[in-house]
Chains A and B, each alone.
Chain A
């Protein structure tokens, strides 16, 4: 029998967390963090550095290392550079979809190079008129004469879209919303880099247009009309990555704040001696522990294949991203004027943290989902479940 493998079956939850963290931490400290401000300034992560990530085996982690290890990796990378973590996030989402629902032909062509990082992926859901509400997707895929599909549409805010080789695209078909894997060199596909973003500026974000792109039949993921369920599964991976990366931002804010508080003197006194500074550092340190614990719990549940991971990941993403924004706000405050400039990385953390509260389901979407879960689990909002009840509208996937 084919083993259950909704998520990576390789257990890492029983491995010492410090052991999982050591390798990524050393790489981030030596190679990524020192360059992250320059990447942000240039609004680009250069190709040679993407290759460095491949040499570290980071692109394939969603398949190879277990989900706890995946989360620890994304936390560490997020501590150094949210743009790099964002690229890993969307690539992991596309790779997960390919592995889980891809046709034999697509898996044969793309699985190894995507796992190794020789080819990169991205996630295309958001549209100008629909936001991230999958039920409002306007892109269309219709049967092509002679077989396959013809894809038309316009996607916005595609992280990694400027560089990706394989795009996970959601489009409306006759039977609902469906998911497709689209090679970036498909004729009719054009991409336009997006510049001037508030945060994750080096994440190679692009707008992408599909104008009569002809796709083979095997480009369809799963079955026609399963796009909503596929998006839910893929967004769960993205949410877990963003939650973990947000924990990394909190850690970076705490590290920078502690360093500044123990070296900066005002009126002859180290500012860390002031209790109002200590309060901000306390908030960071406590929220760091709480958010990291939620991420670890979500990761362990994923490795166990436990459906509870879905809402636990929402909770982790919610707390971690809100904590990142709060920590970054306080880190800038502790650094004073220098924290408002490119002189200090905390300015980048602040801009990046705001993005974390928006992507892969905004904080408000998470609040709704978590509340719905709590209400229904308590027996609230429970209609009689009998055949013939009226249809309810689909909800947002985000």
Chain B
């Protein structure tokens, strides 16, 4: 995964939950502090921070469980957008 993408995601989570020791492969939904509002915040953050829109087929909880998973999601969505951006 892109280290820079992971860092930005990690920073966002740590801003919201300062002091958490965050492993990039940890399932954040198992930590006890993530509620549905934070799930929505995550979606908004990824879309704004990386200037993309997460398509329906990627709106799976599994894509948001870990920093690593979210970084991979960002890479996939970007790749998909690039592949679809052909000449008019």
Contacts and interface: CB of A to CB of B under 8 A. Distances in A.
Interface of A: 1-6, 101, 103, 134, 176, 221-223, 225-226, 228-229, 231-233, 236, 304-307, 309-311, 314, 369, 372-373, 376-379, 381-387, 389-392, 394-397
Given A2-B53, A387-B27, A397 B45 contact: no
A397 B35 CA distance: 8
B41 A389 contact: no
A305 B47 CA distance: 8
Shortest 6 CB-CB contacts between residues of A and residues of B: A395-B35, A307-B41, A392-B32, A232-B36, A222-B59, A305-B48
Contact of B36 (A5, A228, A304, A386): A228
6 contacts: A1-B85, A305-B44, A306-B48, A385-B21, A385-B26, A389-B32
Contacts of A6: 43-44, 47-48, 53
A134 B36 contact: yes
Interface of B: 12, 16-23, 25-37, 39-45, 47-48, 51-53, 55-61, 78, 81-82, 85
A307 B81 contact: no
Contacts of B36: 134, 228-229, 231-232, 394-397
B35 A226 contact: no
Contacts of A391: 29-30
A228 B26 contact: no
A390 B21 contact: no
Nearest to A229: B39
B61 A176 contact: yes
A369 B37 contact: yes
Given A101-B59, A389-B30, 16 more contacts: A1-B52, A1-B82, A4-B47, A5-B53, A229-B36, A229-B61, A311-B37, A376-B17, A382-B18, A385-B31, A387-B25, A391-B29, A392-B32, A392-B34, A394-B36, A395-B35
Contact of B56 (A223, A305, A309): A223
Contacts of B40: 229, 232-233, 236, 307, 310
